[in-house]
Amino acid sequence: MERLKDKVAVITGAGSGIGRAAAELMSAEGARVVVADHHTPSAEETARTIEAAGGRALPVTVDVTDETSVAGMIEAAVGEFGGLHVLCNHVGGTDPRRDLDLLRMDMAEFDRAVALNMRSTLLGARYAVPHMIRAGGGSIINTASVAALVGDVLQTSYGAVKAAVVSITKSIAVQYGPQRVRCNAIAPGAVMTPALENNLPEDVVDSLRRGNALPYLGSPEDIGHTMVFLASDESRYLTGQLLVVDGGMTTQSSAAPGRRAMLPG
């Protein structure tokens, strides 16, 4: 299928995990993709995989917290492919060892989280929107998290900045909707990226799985497919929304796993 034929997509954090899956899936749907990451070898590897499968990909080294670097990423996309229609502001996260509870959180890590998650989202959109307007419209996809929706015992900064990403999403949707620029966010739940898979103890993975309504955890492709949908014209009436892609994690009552065992039969 060619659901993204004639579209140019920039995906940040595409050297790994969800971003890489999104880049590969968008290419498989006909998009020309800019594989943007601050780890150059990873970006190049994703681009090579895409080209080997017959797609078009441009690896770009970017630091999404740096305005000049983000401007250069967008210019590289337009210079190489002649326009821009899709931007995935995917890079984000915090260091869970420093992003703790209110009294013990590291404020330097909070500032870093603001730059990596919020500022990067604003910057990407600021440089992409004029090109999308020129192209007659576009789709911006911001990666939030279920952490924007529920409280947690740690990662105070992470929840706050991801909630801000949702707010930024709505502002962009309202401000540039008249020019047909759509903006939506995705809130992934637990997704088994290589980083998580290799670092989480088996009992933690089990408890995450039990927390879902579905009996499995997400894969990078599960989020990537949602990004493809948001990038495509199939979602042309959808803007300003947060799509929660979490296997039912935030839907399920905390009592449900225990109560399942009480069911007869």
Q: Does 13 bind ligand NAD (CB under 6 A)?
A: yes
Catalytic residue annotation: 158
CA separation, residue 101 to residues 71, 94, 107, 123, 222 (Å): 35, 13, 11, 28, 30
For ligand NAD, the binding residue among 27, 139, 143, 184 (CB under 6 A) is 143
Distance CA 137, CA 177 (A): 9
Q: What is the contact mask toward ligand NAD in residues 81 to 110, using x (rule: CB under 6 A)? A: ---------xxxx-----------------
Query: From the centroid of its chain, how far is CA 30?
Result: 20
CB of 210 to ligand NAD, least distance (A): 16
For ligand NAD, the binding residue among 4, 26, 28, 37 (CB under 6 A) is 37
Please say which residue, 77 or 135, places its beta carbon nearer to ligand NAD: 77
Q: Does 60 bind ligand NAD (CB under 6 A)?
A: no
Q: Does 145 bind ligand NAD (CB under 6 A)?
A: yes
Q: Does 113 bind ligand NAD (CB under 6 A)?
A: no
Chain residues binding ligand NAD by CB under 6 A are 12-13, 15-19, 37-39, 42, 62-65, 90-93, 116, 143, 145, 188, 190-191, 193, 195-196
